[in-house]
Structure formats: structure tokens, C-alpha cells
Amino acid sequence: MLSQRIQVLSPSLTLAITALARDLKAQGKDILSFSAGEPDFDTPQGVKDAAIEAIQHGCSKYTAVAGTPEVLKAIAGKLKRENNLDYKPSQIVVNVGAKHSLFNIFQAIIDEGDEVIIPAPYWVTYPEIVKYSGGTPVYIETDESSDFKITPAQLKAAITPKTKVLLFNTPSNPTGAVYSKSDLEAIAEVLKGTNVLVVSDEMYEKILFDNLTFTSVASISEDMFHRTITVNGLSKSVAMPGWRFGYLACPIKEIVDAIVDLQGQSTSNINTITQKAAIPALNGDVDVDIETMRAAFERRRNMAYDLLNNIKGLSVMKPEGAFYLYVNTKAVENDSMKFCSKLLEETGVAVVPGLGFGSDGYFRFSFATDDATIKDGIGRIKAFVENYK
């Protein structure tokens, strides 16, 4: 029945554990879920108001495939103002979330057998999108010894004549690692003189802690700007996951044109109301709401980090961004599926097994939930680990 092509896809472990937790909850079990990949906050009022106004004013027609002139201009303005990147509106395409941006990019640039370098642990979707495009994922393993960041030497060793892309993510889902400007300069130095493109997923750029400032990969040098496709969206930083707004920006005309053609023959433009609603978020008009959410994430990060690190047998690196803690369980259990399913069955706590992110012996704990739930959940994890058999 099924195409060969579709059979390369594996189901998402994140979605599987979330569904299992939901089923158990429906059966009346006392479940606390820390598997969510979305903020628990509501969308800012300024965004909702713009959407309501768009509905009232008949914004119900198709738009240009890449997005309205107004939204493309707002994205170009945002990338200039916040990221020091000089993209023209014609170099930007709006997609149905950043997941769709990534999907379109890999469909447009990858041929059978092309290699795509993916630092591990990685976001669950990366290998699947790469495999579906016919590409071969090549993983660079990282751990706590390098703060879950790849080194220039590792990158150099991973590049072969078949390497087409480095798929990069800072701040990282699931580890919360953030690459500094000098980290990125060192990576840029390795790429200089190669034909490797960079796809830079900057979804969590605004969820940063400890007064860090974000550096966009493409802003490092002219050379990096010309080889990078920047991907971003509003799901995480503006709490708009269900609105489905992502975008890509790229100075290479052939790539942008190909993606517009692909999108024109598949989804067409993203919905018109969301394009209107995105404008205040892109123009900085809801920055106060964004900062309120960021500050709450930082407070919860501190609390959850302290509580988890106090559990004998577990250890965790302090994340500098995003809203996840990537917890090492190797002192008690290396099999992350076993650890996470027992934890869910015995305590009602749902977390995502490291296996889904490419590293066994870990779980991902999302702190995109309220303080009381975090305390209760980590209390249950503590009792579970202390009695682990």
C-alpha cells in the first residue's frame, strides 16, 4: 500500500509519550506531563487583537505564496533590527511553522546520498526530514564535556565531499546549549572554503538566560551570510504554536524560488489571519509580554535545575536557553525507554526518552509548566530514582 518514500519516517517519540500520558489521564490516572514542546502561556493580547481585526476586515483571500508584502517587510525589519541581518523581503518565505520551513528547504536542496551533518542530541524531527528528502544524516555526538556543543575539530572531521548541509540549532532543543559569538566564529572558520550550506534553526533565540545575548549564525561574516538559510518562527518565543507561523530567509535566489514553487504546489500561502496577527509580534509591539514569559522561564529553570541536581544518581547541565533540561540518568539506568516508561507507569510523570533525541541514558524535562507542578513532578522523580530497581 505505502510508498517506499513514506516508510523511511519514524513516529515521533515526543508525540508518542504525550499521547500515552493523555490516555492515562483520560482513564482517571494522576498524570503530570513534562513532555510539552510548547510554552504554557497564552498568546499576547496584541497578537489576538490584530487577528480579530483581520477577520473583521475581510482578510480572507489568498495572498502571495511567500507571504504578504507587509509581513515580508516586517520579517526583514525584525532580522535587521534584532539579528543584524540584511535580507530583502524577496529573500524571505513564510511557511506553516518552522517545521514546514525545514521540510521545504530539504526537499529543495537535497539529492539522494547527500550528507547532512546534525549535532546530537538533536530535535527529533531533523533526521526524519533529512531522510525523507533522500539525504543521509551524519551525526556529531556531544555530551556534557563540551556543554553539548560541537567543536571545530569534530566538524572538520565530519565534512566529506558528499556533505551538503550543516543543520544547526542554537539555543538547542533538547539540551538548552547556546553557542556564543566566538563559538560561531570558530565554526565559520572551518566552513570557509567548503561548499557546505548551513541551515540555522533559531526558534528559541528569545528564550535566553543569564543576560546572554543571541548571535545569529548568518551574522558572523559575509561568507556565513552567503552560505546560510536562517529559519525562525513565533511558536516558542511569542507563544503562538497553534497559529503556525514560521519563515526562512536566504540570499540564494534559486533556493528561494524553488521553495516558493514547492509551496505554491502544496500548501500555497499560510493562512491570511495569522500573517496579519504576526505583524505586531515581528515589529516588537509585544516585547513586554515576551520578556514576561522569558523571565518566568528563567525562574523555573533555576528552580528545576536545583531540584533535579539534588537527586542522587541524576545530573544535568544548566541550560542557557530554551525551556528544557536534559537529564543524565546513566548512574541509575542507561535504557531511556525503560526508565521513562517505568517512571510514567509508577509515578504518573511523563518525560521524553533521550533515545528520541539520539542519546540514550537521558530524558528531556520541559519546564514550560507552572511552579507547583514542577515541584510535585520532581518530588516524584526523586522518590522513583532513590528506589530504582
Binding site for ligand PLP (CB under 6 A): 37, 97-99, 123, 169, 173, 201, 203, 233, 235, 241, 246
Nearer to ligand PLP, 152 or 241 (CB): 241
Q: Measured at CB, which residue is nearest to ligand PLP? A: 97
Nearer to ligand PLP, 87 or 123 (CB): 123
Q: How far is the CB of 343 from ligand PLP (least distance, A)?
A: 22
Q: Are 246 and 100 in contact (CB under 8 A)?
A: yes
In this structure, what are the phi and psi dihedrals at residue 329, rounded to the nearest 5 degrees? -110, 10
Nearer to ligand PLP, 225 or 245 (CB): 245
Grid look-up 556533505 returns: 163
Q: How far is the CB of 380 from ligand PLP (least distance, A)?
A: 25
Q: Are 185 and 158 in contact (CB under 8 A)?
A: no
Nearer to ligand PLP, 98 or 311 (CB): 98
Q: How far is the CB of 385 from ligand PLP (least distance, A)?
A: 26
Q: How far is the CB of 107 from ligand PLP (least distance, A)?
A: 15
Nearer to ligand PLP, 200 or 347 (CB): 200
Q: How far is the CB of 125 from ligand PLP (least distance, A)?
A: 7
Q: How far is the CB of 37 from ligand PLP (least distance, A)?
A: 4
Closest of 96, 109, 108, 123 to residue 247, by C-alpha: 96
Q: Could you give the CA distance from residue 89 to residue 78 in angstroms, rounded to a whole number?
A: 11
Closest of 160, 161, 221, 231 to residue 189, by C-alpha: 221
Nearer to ligand PLP, 92 or 311 (CB): 92
Nearer to ligand PLP, 233 or 348 (CB): 233
Nearer to ligand PLP, 128 or 335 (CB): 128
Closest of 42, 12, 90 to residue 296, by C-alpha: 42
Q: How far is the CB of 203 from ligand PLP (least distance, A)?
A: 4
Nearer to ligand PLP, 89 or 97 (CB): 97
Q: Could you give the CA distance from residue 76 to residue 91 in angstroms, rounded to a whole number?
A: 9
Q: How far is the CB of 97 from ligand PLP (least distance, A)?
A: 3
Nearer to ligand PLP, 333 or 367 (CB): 367
Q: Could you give the CA distance from residue 308 to residue 215 in angstroms, rounded to a whole number?
A: 29
Q: How far is the CB of 388 from ligand PLP (least distance, A)?
A: 29
Cell of 182: 566566538
Q: How far is the CB of 244 from ligand PLP (least distance, A)?
A: 7
